[in-house]
Structure 1
């Protein structure tokens, strides 16, 4: 699925590359930038963590004239008089203005955020999620790609960001030094979720080579270590019924359940049943027109 995503993120899509201290995802991020430039798209990179020179390293063969780097690396918090871009400018209005003033109006635009973790350290997760959701609705940018360091944030924050994404790539170390494992989750517009794991490496020209993959299109089955322990496994008594015991239980008549014959006997009067008969005598002052005449009301 990596080659498919490198061919282009769907319009309005949000791709999150999730990494950790054990395996960096920046090389894969640069591969996505390189692929977008080769598709003749305009790429706007908001760089918080590396300089423009480091980001462009390895992209000499790409048409970098369409690569626009917005320097948030030198002064991310706006401590100087004229900062290029600060973390507090991460909102839809500022990003739209930034992209439109430096892009050709007819060119498809991809916004790259390097990285979301830097922004989440200084802006509330709800505000970041709001901006990402607004970017997904289209407008100035066609698609958004963000790098997220998952081990720097709480699980709920990472989950909220990934929940907004149309595709999530989680990178992990591979068996060999030059290999990495990409765990990909892609959500289609119909709601279908596809998961795959691919082993890949990145060449010097930022080309991604997939070595092997294992598809998981269905729900993930828990492994032996993830299966819950049976609480009835080591009991000294049996909580389960055998087939014979279950059959005897089903045939047992419960005392509070009436059979059809018992209901019939209770509802129909048989011989010898008693009745109460009332015959008024002459002393009874009973007026059929006013039965309550004897009441003092």
Structure 2
């Protein structure tokens, strides 16, 4: 499934690569960029964490004219006033202005390296709204973002993952053999597909799938083992015999009326009781002033 996500051509997608201090996901991010360039797509990169030289290392040089790097690495907060792009410019208007500077015939792929820089200086709710607007399409065909999950609260990470159409969580492999990718993919119908694969990244940034890991809990249960009866050693009986069950079913429920009782309630006979009240002389009730007997 990892190769399907990296090579996907579905418009309006949001691919999120989630890493931690144990394993860096930037090489996988660069593999996504390289794959998009080989599909002859125009790629715009908002670079906050590495320089342009470091990002370009290993990418397809024949497609360099379709790769546009917006430098937010040298001055991400805009302290010098000469930064080409800052973290405070992560707005739909400023991103649209950047994309218009390089006119192209088709929509582009927007790469954010990384979302952690933006989330640490913006309200997470506002960032979710902007990502939702970006992934709908328009000038941006697809969004690819890198997120360092161990730098944020669990609720923030969960909100970003909920927006993504595909989430790739990377971790180091066992015994130093490759890396582990846990992929969660959401189809257009809303169905979730999950997979776990061991992969490696080659020098040309291509991804090789080494094997697939079995999901926890997928091991079939042993049917030969005898089931344990929790009521076997009790001092009292929790089960009913056939005679007891038949007698229980014949008992009338207290809130269920019989036909005779329903008929008596709905059609009272001539001997039914009534309450009649006749006021006497001591009542002294005045209809024009009902409160006449009150000392007010």
- Listed as ranges, the matches of 1:160-239 within 5 Å are 160-213=159-212
Contact between 2:34 and 2:60, CA under 8 Å: does it hold in 1?
no
Deviation at 1:214, TM superposition (A): 5.5
**Count of residue correspondences:** 263
- Going from structure 1 to structure 2, the CA distance change for 1:260 and 1:23 (only over 3 Å counts) comes to same
Judging changes above 3 Å, is the alpha-carbon distance between structure 1 residues 261 and 157 closer, same or farther for their aligned structure 2 residues?
same
Whole-Å separation in 1 of the counterparts to 2:166 and 2:240: 49
| Residue 50 (str. 1) matches residue 50 (str. 2) | yes
Q: Name the SS of the counterpart of 2:211 in structure 1.
A: strand
In the TM superposition, what are the counterparts of 1:1-297 in structure 2 within 5 Å? 1-59=1-59, 63-101=63-101, 103-213=102-212, 241=239, 249-260=248-259
Partners of 1:238 and 1:179 in 2: CA distance: 58
Shift of 1:31: 0.4
Q: Name whichever of 256-265 and 55-64 sits farther off.
A: 256-265
* Unmatched 5+ stretches in structure 2: 220-229, 274-286, 289-296
Determine if contact 1:100/1:140 at 8 Å carries over to the other structure.
no
TM-aligned CA distance change 1:9 to 1:81, over 3 Å = same
Query: 1:175/1:257 Cα in 2 relative to 1: closer, same or farther (>3 Å)?
Result: same
* 3-state SS of paired residue (2:140): coil
Q: Are the structure 2 counterparts of residues 274 and 41 from structure 1 closer, same or farther at C-alpha, using a change threshold of 3 Å?
A: closer
Q: Any idea what SS the aligned residue of 1:160 has?
A: helix
Cα 1:139/1:175, change in 2 over 3 Å: same
> Displacement, 1:134?
1.4
With over 3 angstroms needed to count, the CA separation of the structure-2 counterparts of 1:248 and 1:187, relative to structure 1, is: farther
Alignment deviations for residues 92-112 of structure 1 (CA, whole Å, 9 cap, x no partner) = 1100110120x3421441100
2:66 and 2:123 map into 1 onto residues whose CA distance is 32
> Residue 176 of structure 2: SS of its match in structure 1?
coil
TM-score, structure 1 as length reference: 0.77
Range moving further from structure 2, 25-34 or 243-252: 243-252
Unaligned runs of 5+ in 1: 224-232, 277-295
Q: 1:123-145, CA deviations, whole angstroms, 9 ceiling, x for partnerless residues?
A: 11111112111111222221110
Q: Displacement of 1:153 after TM fit?
A: 1.0
Question: How does the TM-score come out when normalised to structure 2?
Answer: 0.77
SS in 2 for 1:128: helix
The aligned residue for residue 283 of structure 1 is none
SS in 2 for 1:168: strand
CA gap of 1:59–1:275, structure 2 versus 1, over 3 A, is closer
Rounded Cα–Cα distance in structure 1 between residues aligned with 2:61 and 2:32: 14
Q: Which residue of 2 aligns with 1:230?
A: none
What do you get for the CA RMSD once the two structures are aligned? Answer: 3.3
**CA deviation map 1:64-84 (0-9, x unaligned):** 222111111110000002111
| SS state at 2:199 partner | strand
